[in-house]
A and B are shown apart, each in its own frame.
Chain A
Amino acid sequence: MTMKLQIAHANKLPSPTWFRLGINGTEIGETVPGIKPYGGKCLSKELPAGVEVSFDPFPAPEVSTGIGDEARDFAEDHRSCGATVRVPDGLKAEKPVFLGYRIDETNPAVVDVNTVVAGEGSEVTVVMSYTSPRDFAGFHAGLTKLYAGRNAVIRLVQVQLLGDGCVGWDDVGAVCAEGGEAGVIQAELGGRSAFAGVKAKLEGRASRLSLDSIYFGDRKRSIDINYVAQHIGRKTKSEIHASGALLDESRKTFRGTIDFLTGAKRAVGHESEYTLLFSPKVVNRSAPLILCAEEDVEGQHAASSGKVERNLLFYLMTRGLSELDAKKLLIEAQFRPVTDRIPDGALRDAVLDYVKERLGSIESVS
């Protein structure tokens, strides 16, 4: 049994621009496998001491997310699995919580709703992975809500390694209290059509968002991203950095917004996006926004895209690499600063193997 999925407004740009550019948002319209309760365990490793995990829906306060209300409500309404991670005040979890979701014949459609609540002064790392067989045509909708209490730190690592037939999204909403931090790593590497969104409300004084993202497009893969850092409190800080590589006929749309609200005095927001392009048929679209209603702030964004620098390529080729191998090496290098921060050797290796396998199938890049 299948169902028709229709999200009319996803990844909406917080302030719209010319409609004809088609970048103000996107639709998600797919026929997806029927959703049923997840069969199997999603908690893949031993829990860190003191951290509580439950698998029932958690009545957390509503949170805005990067992909938007429609996608969030869809996930809430069709939840097939998910975990709630609660960290007591003051507890600094010594090891990560691992949640692994497998999309396959048993679970062709996975809608996971996850919540992380970090008490005052606590720290926790949650690592989530989404995998599937290489050519499997499945569906994944992930909603993750982060609540960082006073001086709490939540590190979220999301790795999406879905097969070529999959459609899916990773949608994150974060709320940070005074001194709280949401540190998010998103690796959007697989799937036929992938959507990613993060929205962080930096409500408390000196709260922070650090967001590092990598994406990889090849064949006819489509990647659509929307990141929003909303600075509400004083001295809040956001760092949004995305980088990726596009090959073949892949398409990517990146929207990144730093939004300084009135009262966010001394807030600082930085945003960057770097894209390497390897095919004359790629589509690379970017909209890096700064919205500013507060005078005493510092906001910066930078974006660049183009081919691999010739000098760099030449240097690598003088060391004996073929042009193709040199380019593959540079793509891998583009991802390394982020993959190196995945706090689990096995998952890190899986990511690198996944990228290498995909690169291995490439016979030429322009």
Chain B
Amino acid sequence: MNASRKKTAVADIDRSVYDIRDRVDASYRVEEGLTPKIVNEIAVAKNDPEWMRLFRLKSLQVYNRLPMPGWGPPLDGLNMGEIVTYIRPNTQMRANWSEVPDDIKNTFERLGIPEAERKSLAGVGAQYDSEVVYHNVREEVRRQGVIYTDMESAIRDPEYGPMVKRHFMKLVPPEDHKFVALHGAVWSGGSFVYVPPGVQVEIPLQSYFRLNAPGAGQFEHTLIIVGDGASVHFIEGCSAPKYNVANLHAGCVELYVGKNARLRYSTIENWSKNMYNLNTKRALVEEGGTVEWVSGSFGSHTSYLYPMSILNGEGARMEFTGITFAGKGQELDTGAKVVHAAPHTYSNINTKSISKDGGWCTYRSSVVIPAGSHGCKSSVSCESLMLDDRSRSDTIPVMDIRNDDVDVGHEAKIGRISDDAIFYLMSRGISEEDARAMIVTGFAEPIAKELPVEYAVEMNNLIKLEMEGAIG
């Protein structure tokens, strides 16, 4: 083989810690499938208020009416008749890890959640299958007036319940697409965050979602309201052990960012490779507000994931930084959407993807600037690295511009590791192995530096590089 065209071997993600399965010990579960009876059962089991029960049933009607998406990766392997939509673990929600059952606690210990909470988080929520099993927030954050709790408690809270009702699935209505309608019908768990105006939450909050049961779905709902002039960093992690049946994740995230507020939403998604990850995330950003998305997609069999930002007030901004790594058997369709719904709004999208061993990455985006939104700027950059010719990488961006007073730019690159770059680094005295390692690490670096330290370390562990070698 010609030395200059050797290929870099990037090892598969080491999933051993994520693949440890617990015995399924459910206190309650519904039958497989999706019927009005099952949806009613979920409403009763969760002690929903009547408005929520009716909302679920209406969402089910919408789900049955809407077609499957006809534009993304195939969803043939997903049979809703075989999915269990609600499994309650055999425990109540606790605020102390010592009270969480050992098997569940040990799982979260292995994932490093309690340790991260002790070291660097202002609050933690941990969901196991369909229900939150642990939720806690630091006293000093609570004293600031910050609410961080599970969604069920928030809905029933006399003070915050009406606020939740006003916002719940208003930004992402069930009519939006089939799988968000499904979410509306069977959602369970998730977190509610309210940051009062002017409050700066200095250290991050984190929710971790673990799906343990085979053939199950997880449908958590995250609702974050950041008051005017406030700021917070929210981290979301998710994983599941691998089974030979399809699992489904159809979560929904609604973010309301007030005037001059700032919200950073970081996600490391590491679902197992039998997971259909059909998640919907959307932010509404008011005047002068900023939403920053940091997104790492490593797991799942199939992903549809495009966080959307609606820049609703003058001077609103969005930043999206994402990395996607697709290995054998994975079709990860990821990207971002932005609507510049107000004048002088700004968006910046920066993504990287790596495809290897038959993996398929698709970058998909839309930038929409309606008539009247003058003075807007948008910049999109996506880079894709192909590591073998069994893999695939597509970029499918769309720009829809409806006035002239804009500055819109898009650029994309796709290719292999550059021979010239290797040659240059070798000419500076660096070995070929180190040069290749440096280039792949450098490729992911802009994303890694946006992550909290522990997650950057996790990402580097996930993309374990084995230079010199074997592929091709």
Chain A interface residues toward B at CB < 8 A? 15-19, 21, 23-24, 246, 262-263, 265, 277-307, 366
Per the 8 Å Cβ criterion, residues 364-399 of B in contact with A are: 364, 366, 371-372, 374, 384, 386-389, 391-399
A277 to B71, CA, bound (A): 30
| Contact B412 A288, beta carbon cutoff 8 Å | yes
B406 & A277 in contact (Cβ 8 Å cutoff)? yes
| Residue in B395, B396, B408 with the greatest tally of chain A CB atoms within 10 Å | B396
The segment from B102-110, B295-303, B413-421 that touches chain A is B413-421
Structural contact, B386 and A287, CB atoms closer than 8 A: no
Report A239 CB to chain B, min CB distance, Å: 16
Residue among A15, A283, A294 making CB contact with B386, cutoff 8 Å? A294
Chain B count of residues within 8 A CB distance of the other chain? 40
Q: Does B456 contact A (CB under 8 A)?
A: no
19 A–B contact pairs at CB < 8 A? A24-B71, A262-B389, A280-B371, A287-B396, A290-B384, A292-B392, A293-B392, A295-B389, A295-B391, A295-B472, A299-B412, A299-B414, A299-B415, A300-B414, A303-B399, A303-B408, A306-B408, A307-B404, A366-B405
Q: Are B403 and A306 in contact (CB under 8 A)?
A: no
**Residue in A285, A287, A291, A298 whose beta carbon sits within 8 Å of that of B415 in the complex:** A298
> Are the CB atoms of B398 and A21 closer together than 8 Å?
yes
B398 to chain A: which residues have CB within 8 Å? Answer: 17-18, 21, 23, 285-287
Docked pose: A301 CA to B397 CA in angstroms: 11
Q: How far is the CB of A255 from chain B (nearest CB, A)?
A: 9
* Residues of chain B contacted by A24 (CB below 8 angstroms): 71
CA distance A21 to B308 in the complex (A): 14
Whether the Cβ atoms of A295 and B416 lie closer than 8 Å is yes
B401 on the A face (CB < 8 A): yes
Closest Cβ–Cβ distance, residue A288 to chain B (whole Å): 7
Identify the closest chain B residue to A275 (Cβ): B401
- Residue B407 CB within 8 A of the other chain: yes
Whether the Cβ atoms of A17 and B401 lie closer than 8 Å is: no
Q: Does residue B402 face the partner (Cβ distance < 8 Å to A)?
A: yes
Residue of A nearest to B387 (CB): A295
Interface check B118, CB cutoff 8 A: no
Chain B residue at minimum C-beta to C-beta distance from A280: B403
> Considering the complex, which residues of chain B in the window 411-431 have a beta carbon less than 8 Å from any beta carbon of chain A?
411-416
Residue numbers in A under 8 Å from B395 (CB-CB): 289-290, 301
With A19-B70, A282-B404, A307-B405 in contact, do A292 and B399 touch (Cβ < 8 Å)?
A: no
Query: Is B410 located at the chain interface by the 8 A CB criterion?
Result: yes
Cα A277 to Cα B374 with chains together (Å): 12
**Which residues does chain B contribute within 8 Å of A306, judged by CB atoms?**
404, 406-408
Asked if B112 CB lies within 8 Å of chain A CBs, one says no
Query: Which among B396, B397, B404, B415 is the interface contact of A278 at CB below 8 angstroms?
Result: B404
Q: How far is the CA of A23 from the CA of B400 in the complex (A)?
A: 9
